[in-house]
């Protein structure tokens, strides 16, 4: 199965879990959520999403490494663990305690599995605001703390509240915000509609001159991976962050002026490009009556608006293009000769042959889980769960699951875990 199919099946199991929760079947809901997490753990592609830690961005990693080295933090706090990829990166570069929260059980359980061997990582399943209040209050007042905020998503944008909690904690903190609009560059950022752009505008309440805002000096065009923007904020540790040569600092008001100038310049450039493309007509020369009455043009409206919309759509895909280009570059570096390419091709064919039957049986298993989405603990549902359990038993006995294939050990462990949880569900029902 490809990662998208696995994720879709897991999403349907999550729906079944939510249905069970709505019926107050808390234990069954939790077991189903763990099964959904186990399914996604099968896929290395899902676990290594966004191009790697910190969106696959080498520039971002260099900034964080320098901050850790320059400031000397006593602990790291992260909101939005997701699957734990960035959390693991922090553990690789910081030996002190790392505290991270995730509100979604589906991802919290995956992070627990991925990070269980990391002794300095402490995970919690809770809202980011509650997590920050509790964690900072429990931290020594004289410490220095790095807080990475990445819990903003669609309707829930706790960013301003999170920063307020941090500033009111009376702790010396450096705050880094993912997916932020960089004022004078074209880094990608989150935009959830009017008033919901992850940008300076959202943080106007923190425009006090004592609070410093920092942005990367590295241009987006030189960044690797997804090239998402980042903003670093601090009040007490501004002098230390100023020593980070990869960041440029200023007040909120000064950065807003820079942002306004950059946005205006970009708008002029886009408008000029559109004018060149459509340059058959000057502004003071009326268009022919035939064109003005063209029903197709009439339906489309202002063609400049259409072009602008297309340009925006293309721009929104640029982060994906950068990610694909980065993967292509890394692949080409590894495949330096024709012999290397041929050997990899042979290995891939052999691997596919070994794992084909296992993938088919896994697909049958997840399809059966898919069929449980809208069902409750009825006799029919019990029958289907028993049928799935038989399929799992068949998988465990299969020759492929015990083969020397590189995928088999992890796949067997996952199937055994699912079998155990299904047995518990059967006992509970």
Strand ranges for 51-97 from DSSP E: 75-79
Could you tell me if 124 and 87 are in contact, meaning their C-beta atoms sit under 8 angstroms apart? no
pLDDT of residue 245: 95
C-alpha torsion 53→176→61→106, nearest 10: -10
Helix (H) or strand (E) holding 47: helix 44-47
What is the Cα–Cα distance from 207 to 254, expressed in whole angstroms? 10
Which pLDDT score, from 0 to 100, does residue 393 have?
73
Q: pLDDT in tens for each of the 429 residues of the chain?
A: 688 888 998 999 999 999 999 999 999 999 999 999 999 999 999 998 888 999 999 999 999 999 999 999 999 999 999 999 999 999 999 999 999 999 999 999 999 999 999 999 999 999 999 999 999 999 999 999 999 999 987 678 999 999 999 999 999 999 999 999 999 999 999 998 888 999 999 999 999 999 999 999 999 999 999 999 999 999 999 999 999 999 999 999 999 999 999 988 888 877 776 666 665 444 444 443 333 333 333 334 455 554 555 455 455 455 545 554 554 455 455 545 445 545 555 555 555 555 555 555 555 565 555 555 445 456 666 666 776 767 667 666 765 556 544 555 666 677 777 778 777 777 766
Q: Are 405 and 358 in contact (CB under 8 A)?
A: yes
Q: What is the pLDDT of residue 268?
A: 81
List the strands of the sheet with 230-234, edge to edge: 121-125, 98-102, 75-79, 144-149, 172-178, 230-234, 212-216, 247-250
pLDDT of 21 reads 93
CB 60 within 8 A of CB 413: no
Using DSSP's 3-state secondary structure scheme, residue 209 falls into coil
Alpha-helical (H) ranges within 317-378 are 318-334, 338-370
Q: Which two tokens stand for residue 354?
A: 């070994």
Neighbours of 278 (CB within 10 A): 11
Count of positions (residues) in the chain: 429
Place of tokens 């931290």: 139
Q: How far apart are CA 181 and CA 184, in angstroms?
A: 9
Q: Does residue 297 come out as left (phi exceeding 0), alpha (psi in the -120 to 50 range) or beta?
A: alpha
How far apart are alpha carbons 164 and 158 in whole angstroms?
10
Cβ distance 178 to 150 under 8 Å?
yes
Strand-pairing partners, residue 148, are 78, 176
Which pLDDT belongs to residue 299?
37
Q: What is the largest CA-CA distance in the chain?
A: 81
pLDDT recorded at residue 238: 97
Nearest Cα residue to 149 out of 177, 182, 174, 188: 177
Q: What is the pTM assigned to this prediction?
A: 0.67
């Amino acid at each position: 199965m490809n990662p998208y199919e696995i994720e879709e099946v897991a999403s349907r199991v999550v729906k079944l879990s939510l249905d069970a929760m709505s019926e107050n079947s808390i234990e069954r809901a939790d077991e189903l959520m763990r099964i959904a997490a186990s399914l996604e753990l099968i896929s290395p592609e899902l676990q290594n999403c966004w191009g790697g830690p910190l969106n696959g961005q080498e520039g971002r990693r260099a900034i964080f490494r320098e901050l850790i080295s320059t400031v000397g933090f006593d602990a790291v706090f992260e909101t939005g663990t997701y699957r734990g990829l960035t959390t693991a990166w922090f553990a690789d570069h910081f030996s002190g305690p790392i505290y991270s929260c995730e509100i979604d059980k589906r991802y919290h359980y995956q992070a627990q599995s991925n990070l269980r061997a990391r002794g300095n990582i402490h995970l919690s399943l809770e809202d980011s605001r509650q997590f920050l209040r509790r964690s900072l209050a429990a931290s020594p007042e004289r410490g220095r703390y790095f807080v990475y905020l990445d819990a903003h998503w669609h309707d829930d944008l706790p960013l301003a509240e999170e920063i307020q909690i941090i500033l009111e904690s009376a702790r010396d903190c450096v705050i880094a915000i993912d997916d932020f609009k960089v004022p004078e560059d074209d880094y990608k950022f989150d935009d959830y509609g009017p008033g919901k752009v992850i940008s300076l505008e959202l943080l106007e309440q923190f425009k006090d001159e004592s609070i410093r805002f920092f942005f990367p000096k590295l241009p987006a065009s030189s960044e690797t991976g997804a090239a998402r923007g980042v903003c670093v904020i601090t009040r007490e540790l501004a002098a230390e962050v100023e020593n980070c040569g990869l960041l440029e600092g200023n007040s909120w008001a000064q950065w807003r002026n820079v942002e306004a100038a950059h946005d205006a310049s970009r708008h002029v450039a886009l408008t000029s490009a559109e004018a060149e493309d459509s340059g058959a007509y000057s502004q003071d020369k009326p268009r022919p009556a035939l064109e003005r009455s063209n029903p197709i043009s009439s339906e489309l409206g202002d063609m400049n608006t259409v072009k602008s919309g297309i340009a925006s759509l293309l721009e929104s895909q640029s982060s994906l293009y950068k990610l694909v280009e980065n993967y292509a570059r890394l692949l080409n570096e590894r495949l330096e000769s024709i012999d290397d390419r041929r050997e990899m091709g042979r290995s891939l064919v052999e691997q596919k042959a070994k794992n084909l039957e296992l993938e088919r049986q896994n697909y049958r298993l997840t399809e059966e889980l898919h069929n449980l989405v809208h069902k409750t603990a009825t006799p029919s549902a019990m029958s289907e769960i028993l049928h799935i359990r038989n399929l799992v038993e068949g998988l465990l006995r299969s020759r492929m699951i015990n083969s020397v294939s590189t995928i088999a050990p992890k796949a067997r462990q996952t199937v055994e875990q699912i079998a155990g949880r299904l047995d518990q569900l059967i006992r509970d029902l």
